[in-house]
Each structure stands twice: as structure tokens, then as C-alpha cells.
């Protein structure tokens, strides 16, 4: 009596082992083809192997590209622009397009009064004038997660970075506004990608509130392993003070959003950032 065939257990191959198998198969392919009865089977298997190689190459290519993109971003100080909550979508679209042309790196959609649906519509619309990988949504982690944009920025009333990470993809950023060394260290410990510290200089958006200056900022950048972005009353004239305190970049509101010529205003900041002598390339 013929014994029943034993069940063949599936074997999981690493990408390297899979490629080696393909090369071995290719080496005996010519000999196998001499038997006409298995030509069709051989060719079918060969096509399957080729398809597997192409899939592996695509899967392994993506992280390499993302890694390269991350290196490119860190080669120059960053320029973040934050919407002011007073402009409609059409105005913001025109501003964002001009700012991006002038050298803006990231746009923060900070629209506290808008619904999740409206914020999602903004992300989609702004993605037509700049890459969605340059868009950061303030507070609305749900919109950031659903849209797949660069990430979300959190305030004191938002989710914690560790909570936000449960919803966001691992490559998406999580920013956190901080106002002291203690808050900055807590943000980093909770998994924030970067910290936003301010306000540094007198600002029209913070009337009557004393500016923090760059003293504590220096302590924060020295203590943290994550990048710190400075915000509040920053102009092209005082940008170098922020960079000298150890910041990765700056965040600007009215200096760009309210400018008569947004592209020129953005370019003025960009020029200072790119020509600062202390920058590392």
C-alpha cells in the first residue's frame, strides 16, 4: 500500500536566501529545458521567481528612499510656517504655494476652529500646491493619520506623544509644544519627534506676555536628543540667535503669512538659514 504523503511545512525565506535560490535555479535552467515534458512547468516557476524578486526589490527600496530623504532634510536648518487661523483656504493655498517656492520646508495647519472634515479638506487641497510630506496638522491626530501627511503637532491640550503614536505610522512625525526644560524632557521621553519652544521674542500673537528669550532654549537644545524648533517673534534679523542656541530651525507665523510678498519674505528667512556660518552640512 502506498504510504500517504507527508504534509510539507511552508518555509519562510529571507530575501537574501530567496535571491540565492533564484540564481541556482537559473544555473540549471538550460539543462531542464532539454526535457520537453517539463518546459512549461519550468517557465512557469521561472516567472514566479522573477515576480518575487521584483516584489522584494520594491519592498527594500522604500525604506532606503525614506532614509535618504531624512538625511536630505537634516542638511540645512528647517523653516516651518504656521497658518494663522484668520485666512480662508483660498488665501492659505496662495500663501503656501508662494512660501514653498520661497524655501519653506513645512507648513503647519493650525486651525483650531475647524472641524476634522475641514482640516482633511485643507490637507487635500494643500497637497495640490506642495508635497503632503511637507504638511503637519496641529492637534488633529486623526486627520494626520487618515491623510498620511508628514505628521501631527501636539499642544498641552492634545493627546500625549505616546498616545498619538498609537494612531500614526512609524515614519510620521510627532511634534510637541514646550515651554520649559521639564516639558521638553517629558516630550522627548514620550516619543516626540521634535519639540517647538517659544515664544522667544516679543510677538503680536502674544500681547502682554513676556518673551522667554534664548537662555533656557540653549539648555533645552543641550539636554534633548531630538530636534528643537524655535518660535515666536522670529525675524530674519534675529534668526541667527535662534540657530546659535542650538535649534534645528525656526517656525514663523505673521512674518510670512501676513507678508505683502510671501515668496520674497520666505526667501529672506531661507537666505539667513542657508548662509548661517554655524550650520552643519
Q: What is the pLDDT of residues 111-129, one digit of tens each?
A: 999 999 999 999 999 999 9
Residue 64 has pLDDT above 50, yes or no: no
**Together in a domain, 33 and 119:** no
Q: What are phi and psi of 202, to 5 degrees?
A: -50, 135
- The tens digit of pLDDT for each residue in 225-236 reads 999 999 999 999
What pLDDT is recorded for position 39?
A: 54
Name the H helices within the chain.
15-32, 39-73, 89-102, 116-126, 141-147, 161-165, 181-189, 215-223, 239-244, 254-257, 262-275
Angle of helix 181-189 relative to helix 215-223, nearest 10 degrees, comes to 20
**Together in a domain, 38 and 110:** no
Domain-embedded: residue 108: yes
| Radius of gyration for the alpha carbons in the chain, expressed in angstroms and rounded | 26
Domain-embedded: residue 21: yes
Q: How confident is the model at residue 207 (pLDDT cuts 50, 70, 90)?
A: confident
**Together in a domain, 40 and 132:** no
- The tens digit of pLDDT for each residue in 8-51 reads 444 444 445 445 444 545 555 555 556 665 556 556 555 555 55
SS3 240: helix
**Together in a domain, 254 and 149:** yes
Give the pLDDT mean for 242-265.
Answer: 97
Contact assessment for residue 141 and residue 159, using Cβ atoms and an 8 Å cutoff: yes
Domain-embedded: residue 5: no
**Together in a domain, 53 and 134:** no
**Together in a domain, 121 and 138:** yes
**Together in a domain, 229 and 158:** yes
What pLDDT is recorded for position 20?
A: 47
Residue 281 has pLDDT above 50, yes or no: no
Count of structural domains within the chain:
2
What pLDDT is recorded for position 46?
A: 53
Domain-embedded: residue 111: yes
Give the residue from 201, 161, 206 showing the smallest Cα distance to 183. 161
Instruction: Give dist(CA 256, CA 262) in Å, integer.
Output: 6
Residue 99 has pLDDT above 60, yes or no: yes
Residue 257 has pLDDT above 80, yes or no: yes
**Together in a domain, 120 and 37:** no
Q: Among residues of the chain, what percentage have pLDDT more than 70?
A: 72
**Together in a domain, 63 and 110:** no
Contact assessment for residue 187 and residue 161, using Cβ atoms and an 8 Å cutoff: yes
**Together in a domain, 51 and 158:** no
What pLDDT is recorded for position 26?
A: 55
Inter-CA distances, 104 with 82, 145, 218, 220, Å: 11, 23, 24, 24
Domain-embedded: residue 209: yes
Inter-CA distances, 169 with 131, 144, 174, 201, Å: 17, 10, 10, 34
For residue 34, the enclosing domain spans 15-67
**Together in a domain, 189 and 156:** yes
Q: What are phi and psi of 211, to 5 degrees?
A: -70, 150
Which pTM value belongs to this model? 0.74
Which region among 44-48, 71-75, 154-158, 215-219 has the lowest average model confidence (pLDDT)?
A: 71-75
**Together in a domain, 200 and 259:** yes
Amino acid at each position: 500500500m502506498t504510504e500517504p504523503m507527508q504534509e510539507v511545512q511552508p518555509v519562510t525565506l529571507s530575501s537574501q536566501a530567496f535571491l540565492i535560490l533564484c540564481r541556482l535555479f537559473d544555473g540549471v535552467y538550460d539543462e531542464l529545458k532539454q526535457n520537453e515534458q517539463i518546459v512549461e512547468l519550468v517557465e512557469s516557476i521561472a516567472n514566479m521567481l522573477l515576480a518575487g524578486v521584483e516584489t522584494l526589490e520594491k519592498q527594500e527600496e522604500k525604506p532606503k528612499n525614506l532614509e535618504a530623504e531624512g538625511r536630505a532634510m537634516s542638511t540645512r536648518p528647517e523653516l516651518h510656517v504656521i497658518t494663522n487661523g484668520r485666512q480662508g483656504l483660498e488665501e492659505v493655498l496662495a500663501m503656501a504655494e508662494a512660501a514653498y517656492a520661497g524655501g519653506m520646508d513645512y507648513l503647519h495647519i493650525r486651525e483650531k476652529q475647524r472641524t476634522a472634515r475641514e482640516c482633511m479638506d485643507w490637507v487635500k487641497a494643500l497637497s495640490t500646491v506642495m508635497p503632503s510630506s511637507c504638511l503637519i496638522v496641529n492637534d488633529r491626530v486623526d486627520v494626520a493619520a487618515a491623510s498620511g501627511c508628514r505628521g501631527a503637532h501636539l499642544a498641552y491640550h492634545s493627546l500625549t506623544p505616546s498616545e498619538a503614536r498609537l494612531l500614526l505610522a512609524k515614519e510620521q512625525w510627532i511634534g510637541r509644544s514646550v515651554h520649559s526644560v521639564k516639558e521638553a524632557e517629558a516630550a522627548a521621553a514620550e516619543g516626540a519627534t521634535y519639540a517647538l519652544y517659544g515664544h522667544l521674542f516679543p510677538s503680536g500673537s502674544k500681547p502682554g506676555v513676556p518673551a522667554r528669550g534664548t537662555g533656557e532654549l540653549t539648555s533645552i537644545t543641550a539636554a534633548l536628543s531630538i530636534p528643537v524648533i524655535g518660535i515666536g517673534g522670529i525675524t530674519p534679523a534675529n534668526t541667527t540667535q535662534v540657530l546659535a542656541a542650538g535649534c534645528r530651525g525656526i517656525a514663523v507665523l505673521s512674518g510670512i503669512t501676513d507678508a505683502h510678498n510671501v515668496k520674497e519674505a520666505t526667501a529672506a528667512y531661507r537666505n539667513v538659514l542657508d548662509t548661517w556660518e554655524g550650520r552643519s552640512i
